[in-house]
Structure 1
């Protein structure tokens, strides 16, 4: 079981089971919510995900895919921890930087890169990952 949370510790979560995939997302929404050029994500089943402390705030928008997507973030420190929506029904897309075990990052193999048309030219292609123009 993996656990994680926001920067200030007000919101905590746990995920059980293996990640169903690892994704780099270059959509413009992910740039905004991470403050970075892209987001690094692990996809977990909804039934293995639970909030163990606090209550995240939510913000729902129409994403680059045209579908609604909901960001779950800490109302105190602003850290976005996961997203959910119809495009990935039954799953939670966890921002891997919010996981406690930083070694998880060392072992990630990207399955896909999304919105590759928005990928900055200085960021290399993940050769083993499917290259997708959208979600």
Structure 2
């Protein structure tokens, strides 16, 4: 199992190393959540996901597709650990920066970039990654 945690360590999650997608996203929501110019994410099956400790808070918002997307974050430090949405079935969109194991991070190299049209001009595309203008 792969472990991930928030900045203060109050909320910890774990999931199998089965990854359904490795995605870098340039949409406005992901920029706001990450506090950066994009977010790096992995999609994992919900069946192999669990909250190891703590109780995350959640916030639901309609995204550009018109569908609801829920963010799960630590109520103490504010770190977003994962997101869920109708588009992903039972899958969990893990924020890669929360993963504790450096080796697991190395395996999370994005294969797809979403909202590439919104990429800031000084950020280069990931070599070999599929470029999608929207989601």
Match of 2:116 in 1: 116
Q: When the two structures are aligned, how many residues end up with a matched partner? A: 135
Please say if 1:16 is aligned against 2:16.
yes
| 8 Å contact from structure 2 (residues 56, 74) kept in 1 | yes
| 8 Å contact from structure 2 (residues 2, 104) kept in 1 | no
Using the alignment, how far apart are the partners of 1:102 and 1:66 within structure 2? 35
TM-score, structure 1 normalization: 0.95
Gap regions ≥5 residues in structure 1: none
| RMSD of equivalent CA atoms | 1.1
| 8 Å contact from structure 2 (residues 96, 108) kept in 1 | no
- Which aligned segments of 4 or more residues in structure 1 are displaced greater than 6 angstroms? none
How big is the shift at 1:17?
A: 3.5
Gap regions ≥5 residues in structure 2: none
Aligned pairs for 1:1-135 within 5 A: 1-135=1-135
SS of the counterpart of 1:29? helix
SS of the counterpart of 2:37? coil
